[in-house]
Structure 1
Amino acid sequence: MENTIVNYHATFSKTSGIAEAARANFTALKDSYFTVNQINYSQSKSQFIKENNNLVIDIDDKIINIYHININDIPCYLLNNKIPRSASIYNIAYWAWEFHKLPDEFIELLALFDEIWVPSSFCQNVFATYSFKPVIKIPHLIETIEIEESKPKIKLQDKFVFLSIFDSLSTPERKNTDGLIQCFLDTFSNNPNVVLILKTVHLEKNKRLHRKLTEQTKNHNSIIIINENYTKKELIQLIDSCHSYVSLHRAEGFGLTLAEAMLRNKIVIGTGYSGNLEFMNNQNSFLVNYQLITKDKDSGFIKQGYQYAEPDIENSKKVLNFVYDNYNNLEDIKLNAKRTIQNSFSKKTIGDLMLSRLSKISSFMKEGNINLAKNNDLITENIRLKNNIKKYEKNIIIKLKAILTSKTNK
């Protein structure tokens, strides 16, 4: 009997933001009427090794593959794995991206997939600029996790706590830890009652950042660096122990930890730019002013020509100081934040979005009209269709330049 099988590919067992997002979104889908398989990969520096090799698939089955793997990891993934293509297979890439441009080598990867899912309108605008294929917004699920009351692993001694969480291997320049440290020290260096916790992982693997953070924070007991793999429960306990979560980022595809802190009833402060605007506004959080900058030369992961937000440090200092001075009067902000996440990013809401889209694809496939599923004329969800003809002309020019560059290099 013909069946539609959904294979969800991700590094589910990894400690990272994308693995966390994949685990959460998979839980929203696994109880649907589709047969849903979790395909886990172990990831080393240069390879993705599939750990599920015993899947039984009937010759008549229709297959929808969801690849929740970073776009910059796809070349590494392809060293040991293939993206299968046939009339009975539909391939979806689930990607986030933090900048308004894609590098040329990433543009070529779009051809491997029939559809792209993204977690925010910011990402949707980026990918729709380069692809005529469907670009569908499926935000990340923010799970409500119930844990028993217990003290966090670190003793805070009744301090007022600002918290920021980041991966030391996830473009520190984009996370702008430098700016946050400067802002905090300028604001609270003479206040012994306030601390900043920088929770990270993999710091030992980024020796340059390790040296820099050590130098910046030495002789400042008010800044605590935690470099440790926490369980989800331990991370939630840490968020629960803080008063305010802060991210002076330069760009975000979504901003998972910001949303998690909002759900945990925290005052959240973030740069008013990019993917976090999917859930942050002036009624439920504090948005920091910024100046939009275009990078004039390559610097790590931020390449020449990329746009990013440079947070206004003076405004940031005022916001942090205001939150500290008025914390007891900000209950409405916290309540609005929690309601935003509960109402728009729940398991049911995100699950229904995925199920609706997958059902549409499945129906086309079963009718033998898989090309209709890929036809952008039918994708009313895609905001790209609202843009004018100039965007299409720009898209064609970009693709032609990529082809010409490739041929020239060869």
Structure 2
Amino acid sequence: MSRLKISYSLTRRASQSRIASAYIDILGADHDVTGSQDTADIVIVHHPPRNYETVYALHPALKDRYVISCCVPHAEDVPSQWQRNLERVQEVWTPSEFCRKALERYHSNVVVMPYVVERDMTISEEARAGVARMIGFSPDLVYFLAVGPLDEPRKNIPELVRTFTRVSASMPNARLIVKSNWYDVPRWNQHHQVIFLPLQMPFDYVSALYELSTVYVSAHHAEGWGLAISDAMLFGKPVIATNYSGNCEYMTAENAFPVRYTDGEVANIPAPGIAVEPGMRWAQPDSEHLAELLLHLYSSHGDAGVKNKVRCASEDLRRFDRRAVADIVRERIHEITQ
């Protein structure tokens, strides 16, 4: 296959920029990745399809290009604005079967393009020591970690905090660490076992949080992929997470501790979150089951069965390492050009 000119426009959102950078590296091994959308053979737009009207107005040549939208639904449907904008593109890439099912209602050519599961795990001594001071680290304590912004209700962090505090008396040596954005304000009563970190941290400081934690927890309503969950698995941490949505692309009962759920509905609130609208469907995790799993991992995180799940997670994630995803990307680009 001859080298193509591929334009890649990426979002500024940190987590998606990280994924986009991996795709760009993979594409650049075989093709010329260019910034020019007007002269490219293939244009990849790694943005939520909210403002494609503006993009196409700025670049009229796009109407004659093969345009791929990289986007991630956060519920079982997509916003009406997305529906209109997806009509403009020739193909859609999305990371999981959960996302594909939401998008294929509005586009006939949706391809599951998994995320590259990798992370620079280098941690400076300064970062490790700084994070240890922030959380008051003690080897005698059990640290549950949750990472996510409070302004995205789908992360469901307040419910996780409520569930944790409800059973905290039975876990006196447990701490729940909530890492969120600098502008977030806690929506729960202060509790001495909850460590709230509304901070912009350097990358290796966040890595130190993963390293020093004991268990990762996600009580989400929905995830397109669940990058923090797969990151925790890379760090060899047991994972408790809602058994629903994009994280089920790699998370199973054999490699994690899935939380049961019932069908739920996005609440009619002013800011339901990115890519969701009131009335859409997502999961309502079972808080009683979540509590059971918190108590179980509190007392059994070092047991052989837990360690076996961690080993399984490490093996299962190899399906999404750079080499595996590169093969999927190359095959798809080849199919497009045939």
Shift of 1:3: 4.9
Shift of 1:325: 1.0
8 Å Cα contact 2:51/2:85 also seen in 1: no
Q: 1:69 is matched with which residue: 47, 52, 61? A: 47
Change (3 A) 1:242 1:279: same
Determine whether 1:226 maps to 2:204. Answer: no
Shift of 1:305: 2.6
Change (3 A) 1:74 1:86: closer
Q: 1:367 — aligned with what? A: none
Structure 1 vs Structure 2: percent identity of aligned residues?
23
**1:112 partner SS:** coil
Q: 1:317 is matched with which residue: 291, 297, 321? A: 291
Residues 274-321 of structure 1: CA deviation (Å, up to 9, x unaligned): 111001000000110111023474552253331111111110000111
Distance in 2 (CA, whole Å) between partners of 1:16 and 1:33 is: 25
Distance in 2 (CA, whole Å) between partners of 1:168 and 1:295 is: 15
Amino acid across the alignment from 1:200: S
**2:330 partner SS:** helix
Determine whether 1:85 maps to 2:62. Answer: yes
The answer for unaligned runs of 5 or more in structure 1 is 40-54, 365-410
Determine whether 1:339 maps to 2:310. Answer: no
Determine whether 1:294 maps to 2:275. Answer: no
Q: For 1:11-410, list aligned pairs within 5 A.
A: 11=11, 14=12, 16-30=14-28, 32-37=29-34, 39=35, 63-72=41-50, 74=52, 78=55, 81-82=58-59, 84-87=61-64, 89-132=65-108, 134-147=109-122, 150=125, 151-155=128-132, 156-158=137-139, 159-169=141-151, 171=152, 173-189=153-169, 191-202=171-182, 204=183, 210=185, 213=186, 216-218=188-190, 220-295=191-266, 297-298=268-269, 300-301=271-272, 302-329=276-303, 330-341=306-317, 343-362=318-337, 364=338
Distance in 2 (CA, whole Å) between partners of 1:6 and 1:135 is: 19
Compute the TM-score of the two structures, normalised by the length of structure 2: 0.88
Distance in 2 (CA, whole Å) between partners of 1:62 and 1:8 is: 9
Distance in 2 (CA, whole Å) between partners of 1:320 and 1:274 is: 21
Change (3 A) 1:326 1:36: same
Amino acid across the alignment from 1:147: T
Change (3 A) 1:276 1:348: same
Compute the TM-score of the two structures, normalised by the length of structure 1: 0.73
2-11 vs 296-305, which moves further: 296-305
8 Å Cα contact 1:152/1:234 also seen in 2: no
Distance in 2 (CA, whole Å) between partners of 1:8 and 1:349 is: 21
Amino acid across the alignment from 1:157: S
Distance in 2 (CA, whole Å) between partners of 1:295 and 1:201 is: 22
8 Å Cα contact 2:241/2:258 also seen in 1: yes
Change (3 A) 1:260 1:90: same
Change (3 A) 1:256 1:216: same
Change (3 A) 1:297 1:216: closer
Shift of 1:182: 0.8
Residues 135-176 of structure 1: CA deviation (Å, up to 9, x unaligned): 10001111143425742522212221110111344x2x1111
Distance in 2 (CA, whole Å) between partners of 1:148 and 1:165 is: 18
8 Å Cα contact 1:70/1:96 also seen in 2: yes
Shift of 1:257: 0.7
Change (3 A) 1:148 1:17: closer
Change (3 A) 1:115 1:174: same
8 Å Cα contact 2:8/2:43 also seen in 1: yes
Residues 158-212 of structure 1: CA deviation (Å, up to 9, x unaligned): 221110111344x2x111111100111112245441111111124x2x5xxx1xx
Shift of 1:225: 1.3
Distance in 2 (CA, whole Å) between partners of 1:357 and 1:92 is: 11
Q: 1:4 — aligned with what? A: 4
8 Å Cα contact 2:219/2:242 also seen in 1: yes
8 Å Cα contact 2:155/2:218 also seen in 1: yes
Change (3 A) 1:84 1:266: farther
8 Å Cα contact 2:72/2:99 also seen in 1: yes
Q: 1:391 — aligned with what? A: none
Distance in 1 (CA, whole Å) between partners of 2:63 and 2:264 is: 43
Larger radius of gyration: 1
Change (3 A) 1:269 1:152: farther
8 Å Cα contact 1:162/1:244 also seen in 2: yes
Distance in 2 (CA, whole Å) between partners of 1:152 and 1:22 is: 31
Change (3 A) 1:84 1:162: farther
* C-alpha RMSD of matched pairs (Å): 2.4
Change (3 A) 1:6 1:333: same
Residues 22-64 of structure 1: CA deviation (Å, up to 9, x unaligned): 223323333x221123x5xxxxxxxxxxxxxxx598xxx6521
**2:264 partner SS:** strand
Distance in 1 (CA, whole Å) between partners of 2:228 and 2:60 is: 31
